[in-house]
Structure formats: C-alpha cells, structure tokens
Structure 1
C-alpha cells in the first residue's frame, strides 16, 4: 500500500504566502500611485493698483500652473502671468488691454520640465507693457510676496 502525502498543509501555507505577497504589492502600488512627481501647491495673489486689481489663486500641477483670477481695470490695464523654474522662464501669457471693465481672467501656463514650475510672476501694466504698475511673485510652497523677486 502506498501512503499518500498530506498536501493540505503545504497548499495552505503556499496560499497564505501568496496572499501576503499580493497584499504587500498592492499597498506598495497605492503608495507609489499616490506620490506625484512634483507635489501640487497653491497660492492666493492680490495685485492692486488704485481702483484696478487682479486677485485669485495660482494652482501648481506636475507640468502646468493654473491661474484663476478676477480682473478689474480702472482706466486701461493689462495683466500678465509668467511661470518659472528657478529663474528660467517656462511660459508667459497676458490678457488683452481692458479699459474700465471687469471679469474673470484665467490662464494655464505650461511648465513642461522635470519638477515643473516653482514660482510665477503676476503683474499689471498700463496699455504700455513696459509700464509695470504692481507685481507679485508667488511660490509653489503657498505664498506670494510683493514685487518681482
């Protein structure tokens, strides 16, 4: 008579090890999936010159910056946004010249470099783009400072 080996313990152990490996891989996958290449951030800006203003929020993503704001032009004004990685310009956009009107002025800046943009410059001019009236530099870390830094 041939005695058969009891394989239920071996199968049970194999199943437990397989389930543990699968669970560990699943948790590791969730950790890696939740970690973006560059952390997102946001900062509230406020560029005010007399009765004119451009106020809103800049939101950083991995390879872009969304700038959503309200623009009020007293006399003729224009707003500009410029994305940087350090001191290197990545993208630049502006509104048209607005005269005595208000409304939303939203931009999406490309920041297609490793790590994306770390700061933006938001500023207002007269209809002459060389006449900067007021500016703020905003950082991905979540704050803005007056002027161009």
Structure 2
C-alpha cells in the first residue's frame, strides 16, 4: 500500500525508502538477532505518525519501535493488533498472504522482510493533529549491500551509539 503524500525528506510523498535507508543498521540488527533466536520471521517497525505530518524534515528524529516476529506467530500477531484493527479487518488476509511466502523463501543472510506501519507513539505531543489512520507496507529488502549479519556486527561493535534506539 502506498501511503498518502507527505513532504518528509522531499521524497515526493514516499517517506519509507528514506526511513529504511536511515535506519538500516538497526533494522538489520533486529532481523539477524531474531533469526538467530527464532529462525525465519519478519521485522515489524512501528513508525510514529509524525512522519506523515508536513513539518517533519530529514533532520528530525523519528520515533519508532522494532520487533522480530517468528514465522509461526505472524498470523497471531496481526490478528491481535488492537491499534490497527480497522485497517486489518479489510486487509488482514492480504497482508498475511504477502508475508508468509516471502518469509518462507528469503535468505536471512542477505535479505529482510520488513513491515512498516504508522502508529501514534506520543499522543500528547500530537494531540492537535487529526487521528491518522494506520498505514501498513510490506517491504522485501533483497540482496542488501550491508547484510543482516554485517548490520548485527556493526551495531554490536558500536553498541553505545545505538543503544538508545534499541530501548523501548
């Protein structure tokens, strides 16, 4: 699904590519750590709705959450999402049907299956904004130049630099 227009990073309304590029090391770290612990799965990234607000620039810090969902829990995870209930009722099966085959065939050593969705992380900060509808996008990051094991190694070596981003 392509979200509505925004001017974040001057990317003609499509903020996801720039977001992924800016946060690839942390996303790859999460993918590799999850794979080592649970096997194949998907990285779920909840991004604060501020990225769709027109005043956000490429210099703003964008709050987000990351988690790894093992392949056998993907269906359960999507059915249990309370904050995305409305959008998932209509697209639940299409989201799951696009994720499951990708998770079954991706190379965890070279690829990442990533689901980005917008959510309100700081309700008081954005109380004046209209309630944004959740937007969900499935990304298959294939043949990455910086592989998930490389991302893990870089984040591990520079832990102090990344630790605040990995805290809930």
Same fold (TM over 0.5): no
Higher relative contact order (CA 8 A, sep 6+): 2
Higher strand share: 1
Higher helix share: 2
* TM-score of the two chains, using structure 2 as the length reference: 0.25
